[in-house]
Amino acid sequence: MAVGELSEKRPTRYEIEDVEAADRRSRWRFRILFAVVWLGLIIGLAVGLALTGRIDPAFILEVGPFILDGTPTTLLICFSSILLACVLATLGALGRLSGNPVLNAIASFYVSLLRGTPLVVQILFWYLALPQFGVVLDALPAGIGALAFNYGAYMTEIFRAGVEAVPRGQQEAARALGMRESEVMRRIVFPQALRIVTPAIGNEFIAMIKDSALVYLLGVREVLWRADVMGTRFFRSTETLLIAAVVYWILTIVLSFFQERLERRMARGDR
């Protein structure tokens, strides 16, 4: 073995195996301490809250299931909104990359308008103002539409940057092989752009989970709405908001975990 030969020829002060073992030990020490601190902080937070005497565990157990039942609705909102947002962002990015001034202006206007106004205003507008123009939507589709259009605007810019990040030489090589412009885009540029933007889409999705709480304003029976209803009914908003916060937090942790794995898999792939 090369390593063995090396250490035979040039004796060092330490055996290579010992150095490796020390490295491993220090990595493990880091991990363990890291986990201990996390656990400590969580327990500390829980104990701290309990010591205030304002938290009633029995009440939490009582209203917990009702609030948790909002999770599927929250996830439904997020998944449908992000899907629709991806479609909108694809169209938007095509517009922003287009040489056609009309399409480009429309896409640019869309991005500017929806990024330039508060999400809350947009959500209320979809539900409360659109009916004035004859478009009456239920709370759930109105909320999904508002989130999707808003995120679609942000993701338009992400998708556009993704396409622009594909090295120029890729297009040139494809063209030099005689491919038509549409083939160059479809077969060479977009597949690579998709890989580039996947981590960013993951981030948007995680952000969406938290922003989806805003549709409680429309009375959609998702996590925050249920927490608010219970909190107001029993005048115990501390507990119900805590439950809601924990639900969102856990959802984002789970999703971050999947996102990290996806990213690692794509990094291992082919670049």
271 near another protein, rule: CB under 8 A: yes
Which residue, 139 or 179, has its beta carbon nearer to another protein?
A: 179
Q: Are 86 and 155 in contact (CB under 8 A)?
A: yes
Cβ-based neighbour number of residue 250 at 10 Å: 11
Q: How far is CA 129 from CA 50, 133, 259, in A?
A: 44, 7, 37
- Under rule CB under 8 A, which residues in 213-232 are in contact with another protein? none
- Residue in 76, 216, 81, 75 with CA at minimum distance from that of residue 151: 81
Give helix 57-68 / helix 223-234 axis angle, nearest 10°: 140
Min. distance of Cβ 164 from another protein in angstroms?
17
By CB under 8 A, name the one of 47, 102, 134, 270 that touches another protein: 270
- Based on the shown chain and the rule CB under 8 A, indicate whether residue 179 belongs to the binding site for another protein: yes
The answer to whether 192 contacts another protein (rule: CB under 8 A) is yes
Does residue 183 touch another protein according to CB under 8 A? Answer: yes
Alpha-carbon torsion 62, 66, 72, 78, what sign? negative
Whole-angstrom distance, CA of residue 63 vs CA of residue 178: 65
Chosen residue from 18, 69, 138, 172 binding another protein by CB under 8 A = 172
The dihedrals phi and psi of 180, each to the nearest 5 degrees, come to -75, 160
Give me the least distance between CB of 3 and another protein, in Å please: 24
Residues between 149 and 168 that touch another protein (CB under 8 A): 167
Minimum Å gap between C-beta 84 and another protein is 26
Tally the residues of the chain. Answer: 271
Among 100, 112, 117, 170, binds another protein (CB under 8 A): 170
Q: Choose among 97, 203, 116, 204: nearest CA to 160.
A: 97
The yes or no reply on residue 182 touching another protein (CB under 8 A) is: no
Residue of the chain from 161, 175, 200, 234 that contacts another protein (CB under 8 A)? 175
Q: Which residues bind another protein (CB under 8 A)?
A: 167, 169-170, 172-181, 183, 187-188, 191-192, 195, 269-271
